[in-house]
Amino acid sequence: MSTEEISTAEIGAEEAGPESTASRRTVLRAGVAAAAVGAAPLATGRNEAVAEAGPADTRTGPARVALKINGKVHEPELEPRVTLLDALRERIGLTGTKKGCDRGECGACTVLVDGRRIKSCLTLAVMQQGREITTVEGLAHGERLHPVQAAFVGNDALQCGFCTPGQMMSAIGCIDEGHTGSDAEIREWMSGNLCRCSCYPNIVAAVRQAARELR
């Protein structure tokens, strides 16, 4: 039956009352049956393809990942989907790096990879094998604070402290990059790190002081 004939049958059914309504249902049922018959070869083809593929690929499962963090190699078993942030905090126990937004907006998770600051929630741990990862735990030498840490303490650049590890890692990157020519420049290049306690003036002062000592 052509589309035109079906349309005519449907129009006729609506106009002609209950008896013709039955024939309209018949037409629709026939259409559904035809669609099912048409779909059958596709479904069969898919099953055959799955059967040919054999057992599921297991390369997506956990595997040992070698991560060099603060000079020490850690080899946690990780699935490929694990972020560097989760690897640090939940698999290796380095909880100094904080999880704020977990989507690249707050900067609380900032670490250094080969000397460059990155947001560890936005990168997979497996992608950082063979690189030098530095977290806030790797800054001090025993009791001796890193100049950036000392500057944050000296300038009272924290209140609750949640953002502070990320701020300090980012400050090291900012200083190394040479973006400390003015307070405005420091603000601009530290703008990826948010502070809910709004300690920004003190953070800028701390970065300015540390930059003077490190350059």
Helix, strand, coil proportions of the chain in percent (round to 5)?
A: 50, 10, 35
Q: Classify burial at 77, counting beta carbons within 10 Å of its beta carbon; exposed 0-12, middle 13-18, buried 19 or more.
A: exposed
Query: By CB under 6 A, which span of 4-12, 74-82, 148-156, 191-199 interacts with ligand FES?
Result: 191-199
Buried residues in 177-188 as b, exposed as e (16+ CB within 10 A):
eebbeeeeebee
Q: How far is CA 158 from CA 40, 68, 140, 149, in A?
A: 66, 29, 18, 11
Burial class (CB in 10 A: 0-12, 13-18, 19+), 154: middle
State in angstroms the smallest separation of the CB of 67 from ligand FES.
17
Nearest approach in angstroms of CB 182 to ligand FES is 22
Where are the strands (E) in the chain, listed by range?
Answer: 63-64, 67-69, 72-74, 77-78, 110-113, 116-119, 132-134
Q: Is 174 in the site for ligand FES (CB under 6 A)?
A: no
Q: Is there binding between residue 153 and ligand FES (CB under 6 A)? A: no
Among 150, 162, 176, 200, the residue binding ligand FES under the rule CB under 6 A is 162
User: 7 vs 191, which CB is nearer to ligand FES?
Assistant: 191
Quick check: 200 binds ligand FES (CB under 6 A)? no
Task: Say whether residue 199 binds ligand FES (CB under 6 A).
Answer: yes
Q: Does 117 bind ligand FES (CB under 6 A)?
A: no
Residue 136 binds ligand FES (CB under 6 A): no
Residue number with CB closer to ligand FES (89 or 146): 89
Kindly state the number of chain residues that form the binding site for ligand FES, as judged by CB under 6 A.
23
- The binding site for ligand FES (CB under 6 A) comprises 99-102, 104-109, 119, 121, 158-164, 195-197, 199
